[in-house]
Amino acid sequence: MTGPTGAQGGLGPTGPTGPTGAQGDPGATGATGATGATGATGPTGATGPTGPTGSTGATGPAGPTVNVGASIFGAESQTIPTNAETQITFSGAAYDTDTMFDSANSTLVVNTAGRYLLKGRILWNFTPNDEGQRQLRISVNGSVVAFDGQDTADAPVGFGTSQDVSTIVQLNAGDVISLRVFQTTGSDATSTWLFTGETNVAPQLQAEWLAP
């Protein structure tokens, strides 16, 4: 027959630590934290030194030279009636670099647009008269662009009295330039042809291109 269970003995000493178990699986990745505020922009750095100047490029080709102009002259005297505008007749060109002279109409026709110097000259002969006026006009397309008027009272009778007029105007291709006269002596006057042996001096009409 079994006897009664005896009292529990005291706790024995701790046994030695067993070996480390295998590593467990990684845990789930935590949520990404919020992005922090952008920091202040730092100060601009100092400007670096200027680099050396590059070499000068080659000079481009020269532009075209514009040589435009004409000078026309009359080769005979012309009667100028009193109180009637009269266009001067021209018969030849001392030079004409742009085919401007219209011999059929005694005018210069602009082929190259631009700013022009226009000059006109006439040599008058008057019959005796104490009063009157002589006028010399340059016209473009029939409109006066330059004018010179003089009294004839002091003009020498039977001798040439020179009269000149000039202006600078902007002209277009196709514009027509003419030289016209007007006199109020009450009698016919004469536009005298003057040739010095080398140069046709009068009557004369010139047009010289200056600029676009």
| Backbone region of residue 158 per phi and psi (left: phi > 0; alpha: psi in -120 to 50; beta: other values) | left
What is the tens place of the pLDDT at every residue in 145-167?
Answer: 999 998 876 665 555 688 999 99
Of the pLDDT bands very low, low, confident and very high (cuts 50, 70, 90), residue 80 is very high
What was the pLDDT predicted at 199?
Answer: 80
What is the tens place of the pLDDT at every residue in 184-198?
Answer: 988 899 999 988 777
Phi, psi of 208 (to 5 degrees): -125, 120
CB 110 within 8 Å of CB 87: no
What was the pLDDT predicted at 26?
Answer: 72
What is the tens place of the pLDDT at every residue in 97-148?
Answer: 999 999 999 999 999 999 999 999 999 987 666 578 899 999 999 999 999 9
This prediction's pTM = 0.69
What was the pLDDT predicted at 19?
Answer: 76
Highest mean pLDDT among 7-21, 66-80, 99-113, 126-140: 99-113
What was the pLDDT predicted at 33?
Answer: 67
| Backbone region of residue 5 per phi and psi (left: phi > 0; alpha: psi in -120 to 50; beta: other values) | beta
| Nearest Cα to Cα of residue 157 among 199, 180, 129 | 129
Mean pLDDT of the chain: 86
Say how far apart CA 120 and CA 207 lie, in whole Å. Answer: 9
CB 185 within 8 Å of CB 152: yes
